[in-house]
Every structure is written in C-alpha cells, then in structure tokens.
Amino acid sequence: MESSKASIVEIGTDLEKVAELLLQGEVVAIPTETVYGLAGNAFDNKAVSKIFEVKNRPTFNPLILHTYSLEQVKHFVKEFPPFTEELANKFWPGPLTFLLPKQELISDLVTAGNERVAVRIPNHPLTLELLSRLDFPLVAPSANPYMYISPTKAEHVAKQLGGKIKYILDGGPCQVGVESTILGFNEETQQWELYREGGITSEELTQVLGYQPRKFFKKKLSTETKGNAAPGMLKKHYSPHKKVVFHLDPFLKVSFPKESLAFIGFQQRHPYILESNQVILSPKGDLVEAASNFFDAMRYFDQQEKIQLIVIPKFPDTGLGRALNDRLIRAAAE
C-alpha cells in the first residue's frame, strides 16, 4: 500500500545497508558523476526486472552495466575493439560507456537481447566504493520515471521514485549533469560511432582516436540491425511535462500569459520574460557549469504550477553544448 510517494524511502550514505539491500535483490538509487542511477544486481534477473518495473521502462530498452575496474570489465565482455583501452585509460572512471560484445553470463534481460552490453565505470567515490565491495556488477538506468528528466540530486529521485524504493545513496549533486557518452564500434568502417552524446565530448574523443567519431544514425536501422539501437535516441525523451520551445515567437507571446512563461538561458537573460521566471545556467558562459545545472532547472520550472511554457535557446554547438542540445531537442519534441 502506497499512501504518499516519499513515504518509505531512506536517504543516506550507509554503504553497508545499500550493499545488503542489493544482495537481497532490491533496487536502490546511487549517485554517479552524470545523473543518479536506479541500481540492481546485474546477475539477479529478478532485481533487473524490478528496475524496469520501478521506472516503468519497456524491457526492449537495455541497461548499462556499472563496475569499478577495467579488469572487471574483461569478465563481462568477449573482446575489446581497437582503442578501447586507450579510451578507458583516459576517461575512466568517467562519463563514457562502451557497447561491447557480451559474455554469456550477462543476461539478455540486461541487453534486451542485444549481443553487445553497455559498460562503464562511473566517477563517484561513494559508488566506486560500493561497487568494489560487491561481488557482482550493477545495472543502472537513470533513476527517473521512463521518458522524464534525469535526476541530478537525491531529492529529485525521492520526489519521483520515493514510494517505490527503499534507499537513496546520497552523493550530493551530480558534477557532470548529463548522461554518459555512448560509443559503439562499427566493424565495417573499423571506427567508433557515437550512440549518445554525453559527458565526454567529441573533441576529447577525437584527441585519442585521431578521427571524429561519426554519429550512429537511426535511419541505418533495418530489422536486422534494430537490436543495436540505443533507445536513448528516442525522439522524445528527457522531457518535462510542460511545453519546451527554443524561441518565444510572436504567436506564443500572445497565447500564453506572461506569468506562465519561464526561461532557461545559457549566459543571457531574456528581455521579455519575468525576471523571477528565469534561470541563467552559467553567467560566465561555461558549458560545464551549464550542463551541471540544466536538468535541475528544467525540473524547477516543470514543477511550478503557474508555468506553462519553458523557453530554452539552443546552446553553442561545441563541447558539452552538443549533449545539451541533444537533450533539449528531445525535451522539446512533440
């Protein structure tokens, strides 16, 4: 019986308790440098199913495996395509996820029947400590209800999933604030491709690879490659309940009352929207700072009853700006 949403969840830093819950097949929220994850024992199919249930996520959308060392990763995957170790050494622990050919011990439930498993080593001291104490890896999608904005603070998780889970490991606000970059190797071209823009930028990857990884395009999907898609590429995703637009055009300006308009700007304020309805993500123009505040700002306005329309101009199309634009476009998708 669930009376109020946040009734049963405990928020704290008790690693022993979290480890015990995970061992019992429970799911718990964990902090990472990108966003909070909803974690369960990757080797326990019941726990994995519970993750899908709690998030209300369709089981065709696979989960990322989280572990604490490259040595561990080697137990879970069959081989490393060229440059895997170079990239891992440079960016792990950190916001980079590889799609790698899975070993048998990784269940089809985790990968949604895919032959590749998504793996990463998150960069958060509490979670790394937790992972190194466990004798199983954790699968963890972002700890938000399916399609909603990803949580970057423990209280975001409590607000939305508090009635469905027992514990939130509180690691403070997420430093990066957007999800990990996902890379998959294309055997045909012998190059890595971007399945999701995220916390590691294209520029950073290019420095290691010597080429700029191309985007994996959905249009390449035919029935036989369908299993390789990252459903994070869904057109509408990461989205608030309120309408999101890039510009306040004259039509919108007359159709919404002024008090109902909110603005999330990168550096500059909007000349027309009420001062009190504006959040500027980084007055000094730092995309890293902007990324760490972005989801929180969307939530902030989404939860205000008076707000009906959130205006968010596109970010500069460079560095973390690309990942931000990607989330923004999906948030604005009809």
Q: Pick from ligand TXA, Mg ion, none: which does 240 bind, CB < 5 to 8 A by kind?
A: none
Q: Pick from Mg ion, ligand TXA, none: which does 122 bind, CB < 5 to 8 A by kind?
A: ligand TXA
Assess contact for 168 and 158: CB atoms under 8 A. Answer: yes
The DSSP element (H or E) to which 269 belongs, if any, is: none
Work out how close the CB of 195 gets to ligand TXA at its nearest, in angstroms, rounded to a whole number: 6
Closer residue to ligand TXA in complex, CB, 229/273? 229
Number of CB atoms found within 10 A of residue 197's CB = 23
Q: Pick from Mg ion, ligand TXA, none: which does 231 bind, CB < 5 to 8 A by kind?
A: ligand TXA
Q: For ligand TXA, which residue has the nearest CB?
A: 232
Q: Pick from Mg ion, ligand TXA, none: which does 331 bind, CB < 5 to 8 A by kind?
A: none
Q: Pick from ligand TXA, Mg ion, none: which does 63 bind, CB < 5 to 8 A by kind?
A: ligand TXA
Contact between 160 and Mg ion by CB under 5 A: the answer reads: no
Strands (E) in 129-224, as ranges, are: 138-139, 167-169, 181-186, 191-196, 214-215
Work out how close the CB of 176 gets to Mg ion at its nearest, in angstroms, rounded to a whole number: 14
Question: What is the rounded distance in angstroms from the CA atom of residue 261 to the CA atom of residue 27?
Answer: 38
Q: Pick from ligand TXA, Mg ion, none: which does 31 bind, CB < 5 to 8 A by kind?
A: none
Q: Pick from Mg ion, ligand TXA, none: which does 201 bind, CB < 5 to 8 A by kind?
A: none
Return residues touching ligand TXA (CB under 6 A): 32, 34-35, 37, 61-64, 95, 97, 99, 111, 114, 116-118, 122, 140-142, 179-180, 182, 230-232
Question: What is the rounded distance in angstroms from the CA atom of residue 310 to the CA atom of residue 295?
Answer: 13
Could you tell me how many residues of this chain bind Mg ion (CB under 5 A)?
A: 1
Closer residue to ligand TXA in complex, CB, 63/248? 63
Work out how close the CB of 38 gets to ligand TXA at its nearest, in angstroms, rounded to a whole number: 8
Closer residue to Mg ion in complex, CB, 322/327? 327
Closer residue to Mg ion in complex, CB, 154/248? 154
Per-residue exposure over 228-259, b if at least 16 CB sit within 10 Å of its own CB, e if not: bbbebbbeebbbbebbbeeebeeeeeeebeee
What is residue 255's three-state secondary structure?
Answer: helix
In terms of Cα–Cα distance, which of 142, 107, 110 is closest to 37?
142
**Per-residue interface string for the shown chain with Mg ion, residues 110-149, x marking contact by CB under 5 A:** --------------------------------x-------
Work out how close the CB of 301 gets to ligand TXA at its nearest, in angstroms, rounded to a whole number: 22
Number of CB atoms found within 10 A of residue 47's CB = 22
Work out how close the CB of 226 gets to Mg ion at its nearest, in angstroms, rounded to a whole number: 19
Question: What is the rounded distance in angstroms from the CA atom of residue 253 to the CA atom of residue 9?
Answer: 42
Closer residue to Mg ion in complex, CB, 111/142? 142
Work out how close the CB of 263 gets to ligand TXA at its nearest, in angstroms, rounded to a whole number: 27
Work out how close the CB of 73 gets to Mg ion at its nearest, in angstroms, rounded to a whole number: 21
Cα distances from 40 to residues 31, 153, 171, in angstroms, run: 13, 19, 17
Contacts of 36 (CB under 8 A, 6+ apart): 29, 30, 142, 143, 150, 151, 152, 153, 154, 156, 157, 168, 174
Q: Pick from ligand TXA, Mg ion, none: which does 116 bind, CB < 5 to 8 A by kind?
A: ligand TXA
Strands (E) in the chain, as ranges, are: 10-12, 28-30, 37-41, 64-66, 96-101, 116-120, 138-139, 167-169, 181-186, 191-196, 214-215, 243-245, 261-265, 278-280, 309-311
Closer residue to Mg ion in complex, CB, 97/142? 142
Assess contact for 212 and 202: CB atoms under 8 A. Answer: yes
What residues make contact with Mg ion under the rule CB under 5 A? 142
